[in-house]
Copies of this chain bind each other. A is one copy, B any other.
Amino acid sequence: LKALVVLAHPEPQSFNGALARRAEATLQALGHEVKVTDLYQEKFKGIPDADDFSVRGDPSYLRIDREQTYSRDNGVVPPDVLEQQRLVDEADLLILQFPIWWYSMPAMLKGWAERVFTRGWGYMPGMKYDNGLHAGKLAMVSCTTGTTESTYAPDGIDGDIMALLWPVHNGLLRYAGMDVLTPFISFAPESIGEEGRRATLEAYDQHLASLETLPRLFFHSLDEYGPDLRLLPHVEPRSGFQRRPG
């Protein structure tokens, strides 16, 4: 398959950089094609703003999603956004490689999502989740943390890492229709020494070698929701941090 690794870390020598290169080498060795887009090295414009819209549908009021639709309809999508969309379009597997900063994606990667996953390309009214525009693609998070695994336990001070990743897993990747693989999480790579980091990279090899059999994250299908987009009464919530109120 064709894989795209999107790397969001300012230091190529970082462990995030090492994980991106390892994914490239390991997937290639397994016979896959791999491209890496290094957002910091490419000086990707990380904030969506008025400068993204050289020709405006509504010059008097900036609504990003409407202008994204207008840009697409009128062939004025910024070249760097078009290029990222092309890379994702060509890929069967999208890997997001990033450090968890302040409990979430770096601003650079969040802004990449905001600028690239546009209305019209990333989603459309009625074409989200199961019916998403990117159905059939696989996606996977590979992230690092600053603190140890226990802080990200369900009763840890940071809270369950899977709950923290819900906005990426459900909110971005599944929203776009992708099947989301079990993430690879490198806990506190700066605290585990050379040996620990080597073992982590080897564990990543194993993870990447088992893409076929890795569990896909569970998400409720759209027909399990009512018209108010709450789970129907007979459905037991078991996706992300979903639960019954009260």
Q: Give me the interface of A with B, judged by CB distance under 8 Å.
A: 10-11, 13-14, 40, 46-50, 61-64, 101-108, 110-111, 113-114, 117, 129, 147-148, 150-151, 153-160, 163-164, 166-167, 170-172, 175, 220, 225, 228-231, 237, 240-245
Contact = CB atoms under 8 A, between A and B. Distances in A.
B46 A40 contact: no
A111 B107 contact: yes
Contacts of A147: 229
24 contacts: A10-B64, A14-B63, A40-B49, A102-B117, A102-B171, A103-B170, A103-B171, A105-B110, A107-B107, A107-B108, A107-B110, A107-B111, A110-B110, A148-B229, A151-B229, A154-B241, A154-B242, A154-B245, A155-B243, A156-B228, A159-B166, A163-B166, A164-B167, A241-B241
Contacts of A102: 110, 113-114, 117, 167, 171-172, 175
A155 B13 CA distance: 42
Given A147-B229, A150-B230, A229-B147, A167 B242 contact: no
Of residues A14, A104, A175, which shows the largest number of chain B Cβ atoms within 10 Å of its Cβ?
A104
B171 A241 contact: no
Contact of A230 (B13, B153, B164): B153
Contacts of A111: 46-47, 107-108, 111
A49 B47 CA distance: 13
Contact of A153 (B103, B170, B220, B245): B245
Provide the main secondary structure of the chain A interface. Answer: loop
**Most chain B C-beta atoms within 10 Å of own C-beta, residue among A13, A64, A107:** A107
Nearest to A108: B47
